[in-house]
């Protein structure tokens, strides 16, 4: 896999999302106790880092070879089963639904 990373456009968009969210909760952060600060930052992290995960996974998927992977046991190409099957993942910053291109 030859993944060059996230594009500058994506990084700028995600940076704008982070800045906007931080501005939105900034006043509440400085008027909260430690528990409130942590809770608000956890919520902010889910909203901001969720799109980061989505963009990173999309970049990895775009760099993947279109050739099917090879079986470790018999060294034959594997075939794709149920390509349209919905997949749901639970990650550190939220739930994700990866989609095949």
Report the C-alpha gap between 45 and 49 in whole angstroms.
5
pLDDT band at 1 (very low <50, low <70, confident <90, very high): very low
Which residue did the predictor score with more confidence, 58 or 40?
40
Q: Which residue has the tokens 């956890």?
A: 42
Q: What is the model's pLDDT at position 2?
A: 47
What percentage of the chain carries pLDDT values higher than 90? 27
> What percent of the chain has pLDDT above 70?
87
Average pLDDT estimate for 42-51: 86
State the chain's mean pLDDT as an integer.
81
């Amino acid at each position: 896999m030859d993944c060059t990373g996230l594009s500058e456009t994506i990084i700028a968009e995600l940076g704008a999302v982070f800045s906007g969210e931080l501005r939105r909760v900034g006043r509440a952060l400085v008027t909260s106790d430690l528990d409130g600060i942590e809770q608000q930052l956890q919520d902010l992290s889910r909203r901001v880092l969720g799109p980061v995960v989505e963009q990173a996974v999309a970049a990895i998927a775009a760099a993947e070879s279109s050739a099917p992977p090879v079986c470790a046991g018999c060294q034959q190409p594997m075939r794709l089963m149920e390509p349209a099957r919905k997949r749901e993942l639970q990650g550190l910053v939220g739930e994700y639904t990866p989609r095949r291109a």
